[in-house]
Every structure is written in structure tokens, then in C-alpha cells.
With several copies, the nearest count.
Chain A
Amino acid sequence: MKKVINDPNGVVSEMLEGMVLAYPEKLRQLEGTTVLVRKDAPVTGKVAIVSGGGSGHEPSHAGYVGRGMLDAAVAGEVFTSPTPDQVYEAIKAVDSGAGVLLIIKNYTGDVMNFEMAAEMAEAEGIKVAKVIVNDDVAVENSTYTTGRRGIAGTVFVHKIAGAKAEKGASLEEVEAVANKVITRVKSMGIALSPCTVPAVRKPGFEMADDEMEIGMGIHGEPGTERTKMKTSREIAELLVEKVLAELEFTNGEEAAVLINGLGATPLMELYIFNKDVAELLKQKGVKVYKTFIGEYMTSIEMAGLSLSILKLDEELINLLDMPVDVVGW
């Protein structure tokens, strides 16, 4: 394990400190917690939005805290959901009386810890709503299992729900638009190399020089399938097909495309991959309204990428285009 760190067990707190030191005009840390909130939280009259999860996905989630997006981000240990007390502190700190929306990625741990926090907050009389993001089409959907994971598409939920809340919508309205995004965003990823949780000191799995994982999550967990390394074009074909299979574009609906790097994959490769994706989408008659390329939801230093496609409508376009003042967008 080679990382620019000090104590492998202290990465989360040092990272949060480093963020607040870098962006003191945007972020504030709740003392004694791993919660970063908007400098001006709670914002009077505004529905507050709280998200979070394990660390290791930077700039998610604290990178999306700020005007127009999240009010608080709760950071767990690396790849480990934060505990209910931390989430509860976040909720209390950002609620201005208008209620709090929790944006949760669909992992057993995240769901349970956030739910317990919501129960605690509700017991204190705070209005809490929850949405659960499950955009990863790599896994079959099934009510019998846990259902699908939440991966990079989550940032569209942050962006759009955040814009809606900023405009003064009610908790129900913000929750509704978040759920709308969730039904309309699908994602899938691949990985070329594993990553190393600092406290564990070695990679979660091994991978040969000519292999890749398809259907990668964002926690260093293996994907759904391992194959020989493919070209950008082949990967694009695979992901575009899987993602589009679940999204029907009719009447000239437009798409927002997110090409997300998992950590070690350079922008050069993401741009090349976008060329292939853009060409395929054009062939398939999907019109791209806006493309986002970069690191939005990472897996520490894993090499790989994910493709997310969000089917837009007028409301979503307006909210997507609203200005934000955050580090990571």
C-alpha cells in the first residue's frame, strides 16, 4: 500500500480537516463528528438535504455540500456506512423547521443506519423524508434480494433535489423530484484495478494484467463478471446497451450523460470513452443535452469508470442547470 497519508486509521478525520481548511468559506465541520455542513446551515425556511455514506468516494459526498446542493454530508469510515448518531447530528444541525430529505444509496448498511437516524430525529419532532438511490443496472432488479445498488447516478439526485430545495420547494416536492430522478437515472461501471482500504492495507481482490471487472460497485467489491480487457469502444457498447435497455427515450427526450472516473483512470481515457459513448447514443437516436466527465463518485484509487444516463424533462433540465456553489460539481 502506497498512499500519501499519515495514519491509515485516521484518514477520514484528516481528510475532513483538510477539506474544511481548503474551503472555509463553504464548509463547516460539526464539532466531534464526521459531518460537514454548509457554512450557513441551517438555511431559514429551506428544506435541508443530507446525504453521505462510507468515505473513499471523494468528492462525494462533502464535495457536494453548498448552496444549490446538499446541506450536510455524513462521512463514515472508508467504505463503511456512517453510524446513526452521526447522521442524526447532521439532521439536527441543518433542519430549519422545513424538514430534511435523506438521500441514501441502496446498501444494507446505509439504509439501516440512515433509517435509525431518521427514527431518532422523528422522535425529536423533525420532519424527515428518505429516498433510496438504486441506479446500478449491473445487478438484476428483484424484490427478493436487496435490490440494486446506488452508484454514480446519485450525484444527479443530489444536484436536482438540491436545486429544488434551494428554490423553496416543500419537503414533499423535493422528495418527489428526487424520486423522479431515481426512476430516470441508470448507471453501470467497470474496473481495471482494485483499490486498497487504508486500514486493511492490501487490495480487496487481485486482477491479472489483461482482465477487467464488469458491473463494478463503488466499494472495491468485485463486479458481476470478470472478462478479458476490452477496448473503449467495446466497453461503451456494453454499458450503453445495458443502461439504455432500462430507459425508453421517446418524443425527443434528452439525456444527461455522466462519465465518472473511479479514481485512477485519467481524464484522457474518460474523454476517449465519451467519444465512443456519444457516437453510440447518436446512432441510437438519443439526444445528449449535457455531458459531465470527471471524478464524481470514486472508489479511492481504483482504475475504471461508470456511465450514468439520466432521462430529462423540462423540469429536470431547469434544475440541472441551476447554479451551485460546491467543490465537486
Chain B
Amino acid sequence: MNQEDFKKWIKQVNERIQEQKEYLSELDGAIGDGDHGVNMARGFQEVVNRIETFENPDIGALLQQVAMTLIGKVGGASGPLYGTAFLKAAGVLKGVTECTQSDLILALEEGLKGIKMRGKAEVGDKTMIDVWEPLLSKWKENPETSLKELKAFTAECMEGTRHLEAKKGRAAYLGKRSIGTLDPGSVSSYILFDTLFSNLEDVAS
């Protein structure tokens, strides 16, 4: 993937976030404060506005800009978390203009570490980590996994948050009442990865 592919991916993420804005907010309304869709839509729209004119082929530089925009525009819990994730990934891809699958996995793993460092949550706490962590371990351990399979697994991870009781983030205050609803951040993370895998399909074909 080159800088153009990354740009395309980010734009597609934005499109899907805009489409799913109400759905994400509705999920957050059920177990949080109802703003996740609005937050993500505000942030990614601004990201897309800014990268439009981004010319530097350095993928790390691009992701660094994405990160700073998310940090400065999303707010809430998801802003620093996604922001930190992109920031850490950018560090890995600094100076890289053509990113291989293993570069990508490495960068995303750094991103996950950033999320965990910032938010101090673990797998099972009903957060976006419940998508990131199992997905990235699976991908790393089996780099040959088909994109189709990865997509299905991402969806599975997202679905898996439904029966969890939230331990971190706003939903944690609901205790057992948080069970039965998908974690909104896991849904936005699903969108991120699902779109990534679609893009990799395109790049491959």
C-alpha cells in the first residue's frame, strides 16, 4: 500500500462513518452518552478535508496528520484513543512510502499498544480493544489468512462485545445493564478494519 492507498482507505472509512453516524450514536445512546457517531463523523470529516491536499508520499507523515486531526477534533474517549493509535502507527511507518503487509501489522500493533497505554483497558472490558487485539493476534499469527476470513473475524469480534459487561469507558457505569448492546467503539473499529481489508482486496486485484 502506498500513500494513495492509505488516503483512499481513510476516505472510505469516513464515508462509512458518515453513513453509520446515527447508528453509532444510537448504540452509544443505549449504554453511553449517545455521541460516538457525532464525534467520529466530526473527526473523520476533518481528517479527509485536511489530507485532500496532502502530497508527501511518506505514509508515516500522512498518518501523523490523521492522528493530530483526530486528537484535535474528536474529543471524548474515542478521540485520544484513535488519535494515539494513529500516532503510534505513524511512528512505525515514518519515512515508509510503500508499506508491506507485515509493516502494516506491525504499525497496527503499535497502535493497539497506544490504545491500551492511553485507556488502560484490557480484552473483555467491552471496548474497541475487543476488536483490535484478537484480530491483530490472529492476523500476525496467520499472516496467510484470507481477507474474507479476516473480515468475517472482525465482524465476529465486534458481535462478541454484545454479551460483555463493560468495565471501562462510560458504559462501565451501567454494570450489567451494558450487556446486550454492541460496544459503539468496537463498531467504529470494525468499520476501520473492514474498510482496510476491502482496500487490500482492491490493491491485490
Spell out A's residues near B (CB within 8 Å).
Answer: 54, 76-85, 107-109, 112-113, 116, 136, 138-140, 144-146, 149, 197, 199-200, 203-205, 215, 217, 219-222, 224-225
Contact = CB atoms under 8 A, between A and B. Distances in A.
B75 A221 contact: no
Nearest to A221: B33
A217 B31 CA distance: 12
Report, nearest first, the 5 A-B pairs whose CB atoms are least far apart: A219-B33, A109-B77, A112-B80, A204-B34, A204-B29
Interface stretch (B89-97, B150-158, B162-170, B187-195): B162-170
B73 interface: yes
B38 A197 contact: yes
A222 B177 contact: yes
A137 to B, nearest CB: 12
A222 B79 contact: no
Contacts of B33: 54, 79-80, 197, 204, 217, 219-221
Q: Most chain-B Cβ atoms within 10 A of its Cβ — which of A139, A197, A221?
A: A221
B172 interface: yes
10 contacts: A79-B35, A84-B72, A113-B79, A146-B169, A146-B173, A200-B29, A200-B34, A204-B29, A221-B33, A222-B177
A113 B75 contact: yes
Given A108-B169, A116-B80, A222 B71 contact: no
A224 B80 contact: no
Nearest to B173: A139
A107 B78 CA distance: 12
Interface of B: 22, 25, 29-35, 37-39, 42, 71-81, 118-119, 167-170, 172-175, 177
B71 A139 contact: no
B34 A109 contact: no
Contacts of A85: 71-72
Contacts of A84: 71-72, 80
- Please report whether the interface of chain B is mostly helix, strand, loop or mixed according to DSSP: helix
Contacts of B168: 108, 145-146
Given A81-B75, A203-B29, 20 more contacts: A79-B33, A80-B33, A80-B38, A81-B76, A81-B77, A84-B72, A85-B72, A109-B78, A112-B118, A113-B75, A139-B172, A146-B169, A197-B33, A200-B34, A205-B30, A219-B170, A221-B34, A221-B174, A224-B175, A224-B177
B167 A146 contact: yes
B28 to A, nearest CB: 8
Given A139-B175, A145-B167, A205-B29, A220 B34 contact: yes
A245 to B, nearest CB: 18
A79 B73 CA distance: 14
Contact of A222 (B25, B35, B37, B174): B174
B173 A109 contact: no
A215 B38 CA distance: 25
Contacts of A222: 30-31, 174, 177
Contacts of A107: 77, 170
Contacts of A80: 33, 35, 38-39, 75-76
B72 to A, nearest CB: 5
Contacts of B35: 77-80, 197, 199-200
Contacts of B77: 81, 107-109, 112
B76 A109 contact: yes
A146 B172 contact: yes
A175 B14 CA distance: 42
Nearest to B174: A222
B30 A109 contact: no
B76 A217 contact: no
